[in-house]
């Protein structure tokens, strides 16, 4: 049973609408600017990176986009990963299972997909905490494109602050993600 370590209060939803990095509509341009390891959060983002010829180090998906089931070709493309971890993560939360999956997938030398039963929308925040400096997190910005987050101490602190403002156990989150 997954333990919820962070829950997004309704009053914070607008705080997460500001992109953490530059928004791209061209996957090739995004990939040219991104550095490894790359963690992709979202089915459509993962699909676009795969279609552009790049398999992210970690993909975190839930089989949905904008709360609707994704198309069959998107699901088929995501099935091509070597490793797979299934986790439960309810809507508007971050669970210990999700965090452990991110850490395990980043440590795996093979590209790994984390398949979420629930919702992966907040996964970009702990992914930024888990990815080493110089790596990249990519997530979807509805109706705009893909956000590239080059990981550095500044963006990591911004994510730490956002998680800390949620109903969360930030110390436990960081301890799960620490190598």
What is the pLDDT averaged over residues 65-81? Answer: 73
State pLDDT tens for residues 106-115. Answer: 999 999 999 9
Does the pLDDT value for residue 128 go beyond 90? yes
Which pair of structure tokens corresponds to residue 103? 């850490």
Ordered by start, the domain boundaries in the chain are: 4-8+29-169
Pairing of strands 136-141, 38-41: parallel
Which pTM was predicted? Answer: 0.94
Which pair of structure tokens corresponds to residue 69? 């089931």
Cα gap 76→22, rounded to integer Å: 28
Note the pLDDT of residue 73: 72
Q: Directed axis angle between helix 153-165 and helix 170-177, to 10°?
A: 140
Question: Cα angle at 85 between 163 and 46, to 5 degrees?
Answer: 70
Cα torsion at 47, 87, 7, 140 (round to 10°)? 0
Residue in this structure with the two tokens 């990249």, named with its chain if needed: 136
State pLDDT tens for residues 130-142. Answer: 999 999 999 999 8
Percent of the chain with pLDDT over 70: 96
Which pair of structure tokens corresponds to residue 109? 């030398």
* Binding region: 43-45, 62, 64, 120, 143
* Binding region for GTP: 43-45, 62, 64, 120, 143
Q: Is 104 within 8 Å of 73 (Cβ atoms)?
A: no
């Amino acid at each position: 049973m997954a333990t919820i370590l962070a829950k997004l209060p309704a009053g914070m939803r607008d705080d997460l609408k500001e992109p953490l990095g530059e928004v791209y509509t061209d996957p090739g341009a995004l990939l040219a600017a991104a550095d490894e390891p790359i963690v992709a959060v979202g089915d459509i983002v993962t699909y676009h990176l795969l279609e552009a010829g790049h398999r992210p180090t970690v993909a975190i998906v839930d089989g949905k986009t904008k709360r609707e089931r994704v198309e069959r070709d998107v699901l088929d493309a995501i099935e091509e990963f070597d490793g797979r971890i299934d986790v439960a993560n309810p809507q508007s939360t971050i669970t210990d299972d999700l965090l452990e999956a991110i850490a395990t997938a980043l440590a795996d030398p093979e590209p790994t997909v984390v398949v979420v039963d629930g919702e992966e929308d907040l996964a970009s925040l702990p992914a930024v905490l888990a990815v080493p400096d110089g790596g990249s997190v990519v997530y979807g910005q509805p109706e705009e494109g893909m956000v590239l987050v080059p990981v550095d101490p500044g963006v990591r602190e911004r994510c730490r602050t956002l998680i800390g403002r949620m109903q969360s156990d930030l110390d436990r989150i960081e301890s799960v993600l620490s190598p």
